Amino acid sequence: MSEPVEHSAVSEYQFLVENHLRIIYPEIDHTTFARDLIQIMCPDGKCQTPQTHQNHWDQSNVVMITYGDSLLTEDQQPLETLLQFSEEFLKETINGIHILPFFPYSSDDGFSIIDYQQVNPRLGDWTHINAIAEKFQLMSDLVINHCSSQSEWFQQFRRGESPGKDYFFCAAPEDDLSEVVRPRTNELLCLIETPNGTRYVWCTFSPDQVDLNFANPELLRELVKIIKLYLDHGVDIFRLDAIAFIWKVAGTSCLSLPETHEIVRLFRTLIQFVAPKAMIITETNIPNRENLAYFGNSNEAHAIYNFSLPPLLVNAMLCGSCQHLKTWMMSMPPALHGTTYLNFIASHDGIGLRPAEGLMSEEEIGNMVAMMEQFGGRISMRTLAGGVMRPYEINISLIDAMKGTLAGEDEWQVERFLCAHAIMFALEGIPAVYIHSFLGTLNDQAAVMETGHNRSINRHRWDYHKLALALADETSIHSQVFQGMCHLIKVRRRQPAFHPNATQFTLHLGDSVFAFWRQSMDRQQSIFAINNISNQEQIVPLSEINLIGTDNWTDLISGELYTDLRAELVLKPYQVIWLTNRWSRD
DSSP per residue over 499-554, as a string?
STTSEEEEEES-TTEEEEEEE-TTS--EEEEEEE-SSS-EEEEGGGTT--TTS-EE
- Say which amino acid occupies 192: I
Q: Please give the helix or strand (H or E) that residue 466 lies within, else none.
A: helix 464-472
349 among the known binding-site residues? yes
Q: Is 241 annotated as a binding residue?
A: yes
Using CA atoms, how far residue 188 sits from 169, 191, 256, 354, 372, in Å, is 12, 10, 18, 19, 29
336 is in an annotated binding site: no
Which candidate in 141, 236, 241, 555 is catalytic?
A: 241
> Is 455 annotated for ligand binding?
yes
Specify the DSSP class assigned to residue 37.
H
126 neighbors 134 (Cβ within 8 angstroms):
no
d(CA 333, CA 335): 6
Torsion from C-alpha of 333, 336, 338, 340, nearest 10 degrees:
20
SS3 202: strand
Q: Quick one: residue 134, left, alpha or beta (phi over 0 = left, psi -120 to 50 = alpha)?
A: alpha
Q: How many CB atoms lie within 10 A of CB 158?
A: 17
Contacts of 326 (CB under 8 A, 6+ apart): 506, 508, 514
DSSP string, 345-396: S--SS-EESGGGBTTB-HHHHHHHHHHHHHTT-EEEEEE-GGG-EEEEEEE-
> Angle at Cα 109 formed by Cα 104 and Cα 112, nearest 5°?
55
Q: How many Cβ atoms sit within 10 Å of the Cβ of residue 185?
A: 12
The Cα-based distances of 270 to 3, 58, 215 in angstroms read 29, 24, 18
Q: At residue 287, what is the residue type?
A: P
Biggest CA pair distance of the chain: 82
Instruction: Using DSSP bridges, classify how beta strands 96-99 and 137-142 pair: parallel, antiparallel or unpaired.
Output: parallel
Query: Does 265 appear as a known binding residue?
Result: no
Quick one: CA dihedral 23, 28, 32, 33, positive or negative?
Answer: negative
DSSP state of 274: T
* Residue 241: active-site member: yes
421 carries a ligand binding annotation: no
Q: Report the alpha-carbon distance of residue 330 to residue 282 in Å, rounded.
A: 22
Query: Would you say 531 and 566 are in contact if contact means Cβ atoms under 8 Å apart?
Result: no
Q: In the sheet where 351-352 sits, what is the strand order?
A: 351-352, 389-395, 378-383
The response to whether 492 counts as a known ligand-binding position is no
Distance between alpha carbon 548 and the CA centroid of its chain, in Å? Answer: 37
Please enumerate, by residue number, every residue annotated as part of a binding site: 108, 146, 239-241, 348-349, 455
Please enumerate, by residue number, every residue annotated as part of a binding site for substrate: 108, 146, 239-241, 348-349, 455
Catalytic residues: 241
